[in-house]
Amino acid sequence: MTSSKTQYNVALRGDAMLTSSRWNKGTAFTMAERKAFGLTGRLPYRVNTLDEQCQRAYDQLQARDSPLRKNSFLQSLKNQNWVLYFALLSRHLSELVPVIYTPTEADAIASYSHLFRRSEGLYLTFPDQDTMEQDFLEQIKGRSIDLIVCSDAEAILGIGDQGVGGIGISAAKAVIYTLIGGIDPSRALAVTLDVGTNNEELLDDNLYVGWPNKRISGEQYDQFIDKFVQLVRKYFPHCLLHFEDFGVTNAQRILERYRDTHSVFNDDIQGTGAVTLSCVMSAIGITKTKLCDQRFIIYGAGSAGLGITKQLRDAMVATDGTPEEEANAKFWLIDKHGLIRQGTPSVREDLRAFIRSDEEWTSFTGEVGLLDTVKQVKPTVLIGCSTHAGAFTEEVVKTMAAHCERPIILPLSNPSRLVEVNPGDANEWTGGKALLATGSPFPPAKMPNGKDYIIAECNNALIYPGLGFGAMLCQSRKMTDTMIIAGARRLASLSPALKDPDDALLPDFGDAPQVNFEVAVAVAEQGIEEGSAGVDWSKEEVRAKAKAKLWEPVYAEYVYDKDGEV
């Protein structure tokens, strides 16, 4: 664990020290360090504490009058001083994560070429693929890497294809891994896979900084992705490779292709599925039922919807011993064509296990909508990941509640303006019976007895940094379903609702670092138990090993050494 007693031998001096985001302390360099590194005349006299620097930076941040300007300020701070950047974020976690990540980061990515000041991470571009290995080696020279986050930017944060701007989401995810998961930022690498863009606005923009070409596909695309993955496997066989915001036609396919040969993770599929599983586990802990007792309607059958479905299905198989085919029959998936059944046109291959028989719906001649499905299925769980605002109407919610003592309703679409139902309305329409969680923050809802019902935020950041840290910690060669389920079960066990059924289904986001630490421990313990780990520890050693591995944003002591780190 990095602490104030940690000492590093550093080879940089003068301006090189002050312009290194990893080593710079700004006005916090001690007098001894200023003399040793040639900084005495480059800094004003007084030595500040990290707390004083955070106060100054926070005051400067508050002077910015919009979330996007705050995002830009924080990006600049990150480029100057990692410790100060992460220390400031950690002191104002709930307030600032929406600024550096969703929803504000989407605006920053959409404006990437116009806001561009300084490159970050690794840009791998299709026309330069012949030099990909050389470019990769230049970036990682002298570095040990535990985490690589990559995106091809086809499906960015609900705003679609953003081309080279995808580096923004890769970098933001890496930041969350450090901020909430405790990953050393010097051991993380953000990558954008620039395979072109089909976004006409970008292609017509003379300031666009990416490859101004239509997005490649098919065999060319697969070969490019594979060349990158094989470089990761060759040079960092134990690192976690995190896929982010790939399009629906590629996300699941790429995950399945590599998940048995490397530790890969797709947050849109597995992270969303895992945190939703935790939420449902918490809810059924209140209803005193099992996963296999539920009837699930999943409204939205894209990467997130399918990821949620498969995660719930796999957990049902693993925890309840339900045969997979029987577990598949517990799900009704709805997309833009209505209920996915045999007569639905152009069903994706990865959805075929969940196609409903037309014989179940002989009374319907056209598409089967959400309300029709609710009336016939009488679901116990209704999950929305459609970005179809208001889809869970009063009639839908009341129809569900009429057949279910404690309906579990999870409108998860982001941002909040696209949520399927306002949780306050769902709470009112069910007379306070609904168990609720959303994908974005919402204020508490009023119960009939006047008590506030805390709406849990089903935020991937409550679990994916811990899932990743756990896999990195035990050096697993793959992220197994059972490791993910172990992490989800640990998160569910921390639910405030298990102590008070009218409390939130998931812990508060402000507790995300502590929660993710527990998730990481559970994941690493499972990896060791099942033999997936690459370490020879016992399960009893995991917690201490995890604590020792955590990176914290505090200043270390530096000693000048011409042969030291740079």
Query: Over the stretch 492-534, which tens digit does the pLDDT of each residue have?
Result: 999 999 998 889 999 999 999 999 999 999 999 999 999 999 9
Active site residues: 101, 173
Question: CA 271, 275, 276, 280: dihedral to nearest 10 degrees?
Answer: 150
Question: Rounded mean pLDDT of 389-416?
Answer: 95
Distances from the Cα of 461 to the Cαs of 23, 301, 410, in angstroms?
27, 22, 17
Strands 264-266, 240-243: pairing is: parallel
Confidence of residue 229 (pLDDT cuts 50, 70, 90): very high
Mean pLDDT of 369-388: 96
Scan for tokens 């009341």, then name that residue: 398
Residue 414 has a pLDDT of 82
Q: Could you tell me which residues come within 8 angstroms of residue 450 by beta carbon, excluding any fewer than 6 positions away?
A: none
Report the alpha-carbon distance of residue 341 to residue 332 in Å, rounded: 9
Question: Is pLDDT above 80 for 415?
Answer: no
Q: How far apart are CA 168 and CA 112, in angstroms?
A: 8
Mean local confidence (pLDDT), 200-212: 98
- pLDDT tens digits, residue range 3-50? 434 899 999 999 999 999 999 999 999 999 999 999 999 999 999 999
Residue-wise pLDDT for 163-173, tens only, equals 999 999 999 99
Domains of the chain: total? 3
Domain CATH for 13: 1.20.1370.30
- Domain boundary among the residues 61, 92, 123 is at 92
User: 275 and 259, same structural domain?
Assistant: no
Q: What is the pLDDT of residue 362?
A: 86
pLDDT score at 318? 92
Q: Are residues 122 and 59 in the same domain?
A: no
Cα separation, 254 vs 292, in Å, equals: 29
460 in a labelled binding site: no
325, 403: one domain? yes
Whether 507 is in a domain gets the answer no
Are 504 and 293 in contact, with CB atoms under 8 Å apart?
no
> Do the domain assignments include residue 543?
no
- Tokens coding 491: 């998160």
Which two tokens mark 6? 């940690």
Looking at the fold, whether 255 and 391 belong to one and the same domain comes out as: no
Last residue of a domain, one of 208, 237, 266: 266
What is the token pair recorded at 107? 């605006």
| Residue 245 assigned as binding residue | yes
Q: Let me know whether 391 and 372 are in one domain.
A: yes
| Lookup: tokens for 131 | 């030099």
pLDDT at residue 5 in the model: 47
Q: pLDDT per residue over 432-465, tens digit each?
A: 999 999 998 899 998 888 889 999 999 899 999 9
pLDDT, mean of residues 215-231: 98
Question: Has residue 542 been placed in a domain?
Answer: no
Asked if residue 282 and residue 254 are part of one domain, the reply reads no
One domain, residues 225 and 284: no
Give the up-direction half-sphere exposure of residue 142: CA atoms within 13 A in the CB hemisphere.
4
Do 261 and 275 belong to one domain?
A: no
341 and 425 together in one domain:
yes
Going by the DSSP 8-state scheme, the letter that residue 508 receives in this structure is -
Backbone phi and psi for residue 191, each to the nearest 5 degrees, phi listed first: -130, 135
* Residue that finishes a domain, picked among 408, 423, 458: 458
Q: Is the pLDDT of residue 1 over 70?
A: no
Average pLDDT over residues 184-201: 97
Q: Is the backbone of residue 475 left (phi > 0), alpha (psi -120 to 50) or beta?
A: left
* pLDDT of 441: 86
> Hey, what's the torsion of the CAs at 253, 256, 258, 262, to 10 degrees?
140
pLDDT at 412 over 90: yes
How many residues does the structure list for the chain?
Answer: 566
In a domain, 502, yes or no: no
Domain membership flag for residue 535: no
Q: What's residue 210's pLDDT?
A: 98
473 domain residue, yes or no: no
Q: What is the mean pLDDT of residues 362-371?
A: 88
Task: Kindly report the pTM of this predicted structure.
Answer: 0.92
Within a 10 A sphere around the Cβ of 47, how many other Cβ atoms? 15
- From first CA to last CA, the distance across the chain in angstroms is 20
Measuring CA to CA, which residue among 373, 354, 355 is closest to residue 364? Answer: 373
Average pLDDT over every residue of 276-293:
96
201-229 average pLDDT score: 98
We report the CATH number of the domain holding residue 438 as: 3.40.50.720
Whether 66 has a pLDDT exceeding 70, the answer reads yes
What mean pLDDT, rounded, does the chain reach? 94
Please name the residues in contact with 162: beta carbons below 8 A apart, sequence gap of 6 or more.
109, 110, 112, 153, 156, 168, 197, 199, 202
Q: What percent of the chain has pLDDT over 90?
A: 88
Predicted pLDDT of residue 534? 92
Q: Is 268 annotated as a binding residue?
A: yes
pLDDT single digits (tens) 548-558: 999 999 999 99
- What pLDDT is stored for residue 52 in this prediction? 98
Do 255 and 286 lie in one domain? The reply is: no
Domain containing 44 equals 7-92
User: Binding residue per annotation — 33?
Assistant: no
Domain CATH for 209: 3.40.50.10380
Q: So what's the pLDDT on residue 416?
A: 84
CA distance 523 to 278: 14
Provide the pLDDT for residue 347: 86
Question: Is 463 part of a structural domain of the chain?
Answer: no
DSSP-based three-state secondary structure for 283: helix
Q: Examine residue 497 and state whether it is found in any structural domain, yes or no.
A: no
Confidence band, pLDDT 50/70/90 cuts, at residue 363: confident
Task: Return the pLDDT at 246.
Answer: 95
Are 119 and 255 found together in one domain? yes
Q: Does the annotation list 414 as a binding residue?
A: yes
DSSP of 167-179:
HHHHHHHHHHHHH
Please tell me whether residues 375 and 394 are part of one structural domain. Answer: yes
Please state which of the ranges 102-111, 309-318, 544-553 shows the lowest mean pLDDT.
Answer: 102-111
| Residue in the block written with tokens 């080879």 | 11
Helices (H), ranges, 259-323 = 272-287, 303-320
